[in-house]
Amino acid sequence: MTLLAIHQFPCLKDNYGVLVHDAEGGVTLSIDAPEAAAVRRALDQQGWSLTHILVTHHHADHTAGIPALKKETGCTVIGPNGETERIPGLDTGVCEPEVLTLGAIQVRVLDTPGHTMGHVSYWLPEAGVAFVGDTLFAMGCGRVLEGSAEMMWASLRKIAALPAETQIYCGHEYTVSNARFGLSVEPENARVSERLAEAEAARAAGRPTLPTRLDAELDTNVFLRADNEAIRARVGLPDAPAWKVFAHLRELKNRF
Ligand code: ZN
Ligand code: FE
């Protein structure tokens, strides 16, 4: 069991960058590269040398930093097989069920399409962490931009099936707005109001609300709870399949 150090830092408007460091193996991963300067600053601060970038999806706020970082460090860029053409500097395309071994870090690739068609998540089972990009957010989920709602729901179910204590790192700080939406759907869910208060306090103090733990999401993330009786009834779809309830919730959130 290797001990990994994980460093999360804010960048751009509301993105997060994350570095994962295995000192023994001499490996440092950047999960996505929203902005070269912010990633470089974080690396300098920690005294770590970048060896790999693991890209979740092709959007510019996750990839814009790749060319400069690759040029400076010679790092290897790994990303979704389905988006190789759209990710600058990509060296290796991956998809489920590939398992990468980087130093002592074991990384399982999960296909989590919906936000984009090729979107992947990276699960480190031994470390108990998952990097889910713009698929799942704290109390929310990404917009379904390229795939179908049914596809996104399947991706969310896949993440929901990871061990309950998994620490989930997400691409964006959207928790307060997500919690407000969640409360509008589940006003009687006390854990949702609690988390809204916690998130507001954290943001007021300039602290991140991420990472989040999967078990907390299962209790409070309305998008993971589209199969919940009370929620189905609340949105007037008591007998619809869960993915349709999910699709409806996602529509409501888009207009919230
Ligand atoms: Zn995105
Ligand atoms: Fe994003």
**pLDDT digits 0-9 by tens, 3-26:** 899 999 999 999 999 999 999 999
Torsion of CA 215, 218, 222, 223, to 10 degrees: 110
User: Pairing mode, if any, of strands 76-80 and 52-54?
Assistant: parallel
Contact 250, 141 (CB under 8 A): yes
Q: Give the largest Cα separation in the chain, rounded.
A: 55
Per-residue pLDDT of 84-137, as tens digits, reads 999 999 999 999 999 999 999 999 999 999 999 999 999 999 999 999 999 999
Cα separation, 99 vs 145, whole angstroms: 27
Report the separation in Å between the CA atom of 2 and the middle of ligand 1, taken as the mean of its atom positions. 31
Ligand closest to Cα of 172 equals 2
Chain centroid to CA 120: how far? 9
Report the separation in Å between the CA atom of 18 and the middle of ligand 1, taken as the mean of its atom positions. 15
pTM: 0.97
Ligand closest to Cα of 12 equals 2
Report the separation in Å between the CA atom of 115 and the middle of ligand 2, taken as the mean of its atom positions. 9
Report the separation in Å between the CA atom of 182 and the middle of ligand 1, taken as the mean of its atom positions. 21
The residues that are catalytic are 57, 59, 61-62, 115, 134, 172
Per-residue pLDDT of 142-194, as tens digits, reads 999 999 999 999 999 999 999 999 999 999 999 999 999 999 999 999 999 99
Cα separation, 243 vs 100, whole angstroms: 31
Ligand closest to Cα of 16 equals 2
Give one word for 241, left, alpha or beta, with left for phi > 0 and alpha for psi -120 to 50. Answer: beta
Cα separation, 175 vs 177, whole angstroms: 6
Cis before 88 (ω within 30): no
In 10 A of CB 188, how many CB atoms? 9
Cα separation, 203 vs 83, whole angstroms: 34
The rounded mean pLDDT for the chain is 97
Banded model confidence at residue 1, pLDDT cuts 50, 70, 90: low
pLDDT value at residue 3:
81
Cα separation, 16 vs 98, whole angstroms: 25
Report the separation in Å between the CA atom of 120 and the middle of ligand 2, taken as the mean of its atom positions. 13
